[in-house]
Chains A and B, each alone.
Chain A
Amino acid sequence: MSSTEQGTSSAAPAEPTTAPESAAAPEVPESFYYVHGKDKVVHKVSAGALQHSALIHGMISNLGYTEEQAKANPFPFENIDGDILQMVVDWCNQHKGKPTPPEDTNLPKQKEKLFDLVLAVNYLEIKELLTYCCKQVAMMVKGKSPEEIREIWMIPTDAEDEAAEKEAKKRAGKEAAGETAAAAGDAK
């Protein structure tokens, strides 16, 4: 599991501690990259672990960064909370170079964080973790009654959906009217 420390920005990341190496040392020195979330805490992650993320793997595959360049340019994921990114990084490290088993006991269990975790995993395109997260979301309503499913998954009623749709239309209409007025003002 990688340890982290508070960084200030991508321009001056503090020295993070390294993730534990796998038992068998690779012949070629492993390259590392750096990522941070909304909290600016920088995580040092090996390229092997990052292969789980199709998004990051695509970003780094042609960079050819040196260790110093990588450290100086951590990938910013401002849309991901720090604790969520930590979970994702931990998972990637634990599954570096190996496939995920069907029932992965190393995965985060906090249901309160599940929504943010799903969004982050989907954004980072970590397919295996996303599959597991979707199963977790489904498990939340296993054997529940219709009312309970509605509550747990926060499903609006038709009346609520209709009211929300009307509200959205109204807002869109106002915005359009505002833009037209602004454009007319500019023209004058």
Chain B
Amino acid sequence: MSVNGTEMALLQRFGQLNIRKKSPKSRIPLFKLPQLVLLECIENLDVLEILIFSLLSKRAKSTVKLIRWNPLDLRLKFEDDTHICLKFPSDPSREWVVDYDKESSYPYFQSTLKGPNVSRHLVLKDNGNAMGEIKQMIEHICEVFRSSICGIDIFEESLIEWVINLQSTIQYVSINDDIIISVQTLNRIFKNLKVTEFFRLGSIKTDQKFEITEPIPSRLVTIYKSYWFTLPAILNGRIWIIKYDDEYNSSEYPYFQSKLTGPKVVHYLLLKDDVGAIEDSKQMTEHICKVFHSPITDIQIGEESVIEWVVKFQPTIRCLLIPESVVISVETLDRILKNIKIKEFLMLGSVAKDKNIQIVEPIPPHSIIVCDSHWITLPSILNGTNSTIRLFGSKLTPMDINTILKEWQMGSKLRNLQYLEIDAVTLEDPHSFADETFQGLNVTRSRDNDGRPTTV
């Protein structure tokens, strides 16, 4: 499709010819602002909002192109569905995702949290031609943000020719099983697509007998059913092949093992899990910290007793995770809050319910997830400086939540808060609970968390 054709298709999609005629209360003629002011306004938008804005008209697109954006890391991923994932290399904790959904009837936003990382999704309707639209959207993003594709999952044959024509050098390429059905296509890829970092090649569906003797220039290569890949291809290249094997069964300890997940390789040293594995792991950690002059950055607690060791060994830590399966006592909770300084992220599982406890002091880490948060009170939240709060099993009343929302909206408290999620336990009628919670607030009712910004 020509560039103009692509543009027109995208513009049609955003309803240029079907504008609602209702007049919102506040409007501003953006294009009548001086150009530098106009550009500064656009720079304050979120990546997905910039994307939407750039699709509104040719003039909007050319305006966005005037801004010098930091290049985006763009990946086309295929998991259950297809996603276009965008990140700034300088801030990997935030991700913007363009999704296509057959169910949705209009573009809407959705935010999800994975630990301390935020993903903001723009969900567009899949009109049955998602593949064509994804290609157009990627071309549009590359042009507007002056970025290139960083990685691509090839899950349909048509993507091969498209990517070769669009961008012949890519860092990461993964081709799914049975996408390549001829030797000609395989040769075309090797000759025309330069994969610099990681190349994953699924099985090839062809009856032809063939051999490849030329090296593959990528740094890391994984090939499935690689009968066609010959010794000269390996010897003439600079590649590092790690073959997947079945689970290594060894009675001999210790032993080494390497695993490849996407472009990442992880080397394992496996030690025998004797009765004292927890004690051994503490000693090993202390040894590693000493030898490499490195602190522990993140720790996931598998047993309550480890907390006491953390308090003594390293009371300042970046992330502390206590999974739901580890039920800690009230005393341990108190010890964590008073004696461990957690800088970034705290995830707390369950606290034993044998004693009544209420915490009124703020919980300091930037991001907190508390699975069984019956002990967290209103003052603890209001006086905090957290940026992400996720409470499950909360006993906060609708009045408490209403106060939190109002204070957050006014901005005098909770000034750092970017994301709040409260899963409250109630015996009340859900409607009256919701009414009381949102009393006096201007609530926008929409799908999921449609439209809520996740950044300040």
Residues of A within 8 A of B (CB): 103, 105, 111-112, 114-115, 118-119, 122, 130-131, 134-135, 137-159, 161
Contacts and interface: CB of A to CB of B under 8 A. Distances in A.
Contacts of A131: 40
A79 to B, nearest CB: 13
Given A134-B37, A157-B57, A149 B52 contact: yes
Contacts of A145: 52, 106-108
Interface in B10-27: 11, 14-17, 19-20, 22-27
Given A135-B44, A147-B19, A118 B37 contact: yes
A142 B23 contact: no
Given A118-B33, A122-B37, A155-B31, A147 B15 contact: yes
Nearest to A161: B59
Contact of B49 (A141, A151, A154, A157): A141
Interface residues of B, number: 48
B31 to A, nearest CB: 7
A152 B27 contact: yes
Instruction: Among B28, B33, B106, B451, find the residue whose CB has the most chain A CB atoms closer than 10 A.
Output: B28
B42 interface: yes
A130 B16 contact: no
Nearest to B454: A143
Given A114-B28, A115-B29, A151-B27, A143 B453 contact: yes
A153 B30 contact: yes
Given A130-B37, A141-B45, A154-B28, A161 B58 contact: yes
B56 A138 contact: no
9 contacts: A114-B28, A122-B37, A135-B44, A138-B41, A152-B26, A153-B28, A154-B28, A154-B31, A155-B59
Contact of A156 (B14, B31, B42): B31
A31 B37 CA distance: 32
B289 interface: no
B205 interface: no
Contacts of B109: 143
Contacts of A150: 19, 56
Q: Is the interface of B mostly helix, strand, loop or mixed?
A: loop
Given A122-B37, A135-B44, A155 B452 contact: no
Contact of B26 (A140, A142, A156): A140
Contacts of B40: 130-131, 134
Contacts of A142: 46, 49, 451, 453
B128 interface: no
A144 B451 contact: yes
Nearest to B449: A143
Interface of B: 11, 14-17, 19-20, 22-34, 36-37, 40-46, 49, 52-53, 55-60, 106-109, 411, 415, 450-453
A152 B55 contact: no
Contacts of B30: 137, 153-155
A167 B29 CA distance: 19
B415 A151 contact: no
The 8 A-B residue pairs with the shortest CB-CB distance, nearest first, are A143-B451, A138-B44, A111-B26, A153-B30, A134-B40, A137-B41, A154-B29, A157-B16
A119 B42 CA distance: 16
Contact of A103 (B15, B26, B49, B411): B411
Given A143-B453, A145-B107, A155 B60 contact: yes
Contacts of B453: 142-143
Given A145-B52, A153-B27, A154-B30, 15 more contacts: A119-B34, A130-B40, A131-B40, A138-B42, A138-B45, A141-B49, A142-B49, A142-B453, A145-B106, A145-B108, A151-B20, A154-B29, A157-B19, A158-B58, A161-B58
A132 to B, nearest CB: 10
Nearest to A115: B28
Contacts of A155: 30-31, 53, 56-57, 59-60
Nearest to A143: B451
Contacts of B42: 138
Contacts of B11: 158
A122 B35 CA distance: 11
A92 to B, nearest CB: 19
Contacts of B451: 142-144
Contacts of A161: 57-59
Contacts of A146: 14-15, 52, 55-56, 107
Contacts of A135: 44
A122 B32 CA distance: 13
A149 B59 contact: no
Contacts of B16: 157-159
Interface centre among A122, A135, A158 (most CB of B within 10 A): A158
Contacts of A118: 33, 37
Contact of B57 (A112, A122, A144, A156): A156
B37 to A, nearest CB: 5
B14 to A, nearest CB: 5
